[in-house]
Amino acid sequence: MRVHEYMDYAAALKEIGPARLRRRWAHWALDRVDLADLADLADSRIKTLSGGMKRRLSIAQALMGSPELLVLDEPLTSLDAEYRGEITRLITELAASATVVVATHHADELAAVCRRVLVLDGGGLAFDGTPAALASRGANHVWEASVPVNGAVCRAIGPDRYRCVAEHVPAGTPAADPTAGDGYVAVVRFGTR
């Protein structure tokens, strides 16, 4: 399917008509995700687009018709740093006039712009609260190390620097200030309540 066909189809499913109105909505939505000005995009086959462009296209189709409820699944996946910031700002803007539900593993990026966080784990609600309260769940579970630590969830934060989350900070190691992402790991991995 070509981009213009996909956008027209999505608009028709939302009962937007006639065709000229669907085209206006499509252009508006593509512009919101910075795809409207790309030459020949409308005639491009979706399968030829990059992963980031496909992600932005999926967000654009969701925006058509200005829904009161917007559900986004992993909206930052496949996006480079520039567009991650743009889409995060767009989500914040949309939340001013609509209810926006975002399923994501990028807790730190989106926690900065949301008022409420729900963490689901194993089919149940493991956390319900503010981003700050989620971050606090990581207190005394987070530290930085020069090598990954067995039994901890570690991610590289620089050359020979890792941020680690585990049930207990190793003795003699200073705890780091937790982020919402650290709190998320603590909640789902170690069941901190």
> Domain coordinates of the chain in residue numbers?
3-104, 131-190
Question: Could you tell me what percent of the chain has a pLDDT over 70?
Answer: 97
**pLDDT of 76 higher than 90:** no
**pLDDT of 192 higher than 70:** no
> What is the Cα–Cα distance from 56 to 46, expressed in whole angstroms?
12
Q: Which fold has domain 3-104?
A: Rossmann fold (3.40.50)
pLDDT for the residue numbered 40: 66
Q: Is the dihedral of CA 174, 151, 154, 145 positive or negative?
A: positive
pLDDT band at 115 (very low <50, low <70, confident <90, very high): confident
> What is the Cα–Cα distance from 160 to 65, expressed in whole angstroms?
48
Question: Could you tell me what percent of the chain has a pLDDT over 90?
Answer: 59
